[in-house]
Structure 1
Amino acid sequence: MPIRPEHRWLYPIDWPEISRIVRFKRAGGRCEHCQRPHGRRVAQLAGTAGVWWDAEIRAWRDGTGRRLRQPPSFVPLDAIRMTRRPVYLATAHLNHDPTFSGPRWRNLAALCPRCHMIHDAPEHRRRRWWNAFRRRALGDLFTGRYT
């Protein structure tokens, strides 16, 4: 994920190198939560909890990366919706604090877009609430109460 210009100063100067090491050396080019491979298009069943086809082991995996014992039960062929999405890993801060990467980068994880959004969802809700709260407070301060 690109870093916003106003947040660039929070990251260390060698962030691109740290991110590359976490994504490709430590994680081996796979998402650390669901094992999706970087740079490939992954077939994912729509309407499931992230069930996807791993072409390397020729098996279905669930949203947490575990291999399914049985293939997913299919509905009629015309009702199946399968999406093929490219996977690009990003380095995520597990505690949402870009100023602290922790000893030996334990606070960092290589995540696919799906896992990154799932991980960040509570933080996004908190920030959305805070921005709305701040906007209303400024409105009350300068323009009076809302109607």
Structure 2
Amino acid sequence: MPIRREHRFFYPIDWPQLSVVIRFQRAKGRCEVCARPHGQRVFHLGDGRWWDGAEGSWRDGAGRFICLAIGTDDILGRVRTTRVVLATGHRDHDTANNASKNLAAFCQRCHMNHDRPEHQRRRWRTLFRRKAGGDLFQGPYPRP
């Protein structure tokens, strides 16, 4: 995933090389949470379950093999495809902590799930600041 311009100085100068080592040497080109393969198109059901073509089986969102009960799920009506792209993410959201144990290879879905609490915190802060600015300067709020 691209790094925002304002956050670029938080990352080390060798970040691209470090990211490649984490994604392709340590994780062997698969997400470390769900085991989706980088660069491949996978079939998925939208709830984390996906088809692992190499193994010929369905996996859940944690990468474990599962068996789908025939007749209970309308699989063909819900199957979608997506192209998997791996990114290196910080487990503790601290971009200064680039220790190997703090970095993980995430697919898009797992990266968004991992970052969800941080995104919610930032969204709340942005909304709070916007409202505070409106209160101070009678911005987006109508005058009584």
2:89 and 2:4 map into 1 onto residues whose CA distance is 14
User: Match for 1:130 among 125, 131, 139?
Assistant: 125
User: Does the 8 Å contact 2:133/2:139 carry over to 1?
Assistant: no
The aligned counterpart of 2:52 is 54
1:80 and 1:91 map into 2 onto residues whose CA distance is 33
Give the secondary-structure state (helix, strand or coil) at the position aligned to 1:141. helix
1:144 and 1:84 map into 2 onto residues whose CA distance is 44
1:121 and 1:39 map into 2 onto residues whose CA distance is 24
Q: How far did residue 81 of structure 1 move? A: 1.9
User: Does the 8 Å contact 2:50/2:59 carry over to 1?
Assistant: yes
Q: TM-score, normalised by structure 2?
A: 0.90
1:29-53 Cα distance to aligned partner (Å, 9 max, x none): 000000000010001124xx31111
Q: TM-score, normalised by structure 1?
A: 0.88
Aligned pairs (5 A) from 1:56-95: 56-68=54-66, 70-74=67-71, 75=73, 80-95=77-92
1:98 and 1:32 map into 2 onto residues whose CA distance is 19
2:69 and 2:37 map into 1 onto residues whose CA distance is 21
Q: How many residues align?
A: 141
Q: How far did residue 146 of structure 1 move? A: 4.0
Q: Any gaps of 5 or more consecutive residues in structure 2?
A: none
**Are 2:108 and 1:113 aligned?**
yes
1:64 and 1:29 map into 2 onto residues whose CA distance is 16
RMSD of aligned Cα (Å) = 1.8
Give the secondary-structure state (helix, strand or coil) at the position aligned to 1:128. helix
1:5 and 1:107 map into 2 onto residues whose CA distance is 22
The aligned counterpart of 1:21 is 21
AA at the equivalent of 1:52: W
Q: Using the aligned pairs only, state the percent identity.
A: 54
2:13 and 2:48 map into 1 onto residues whose CA distance is 35
1:89 and 1:129 map into 2 onto residues whose CA distance is 28
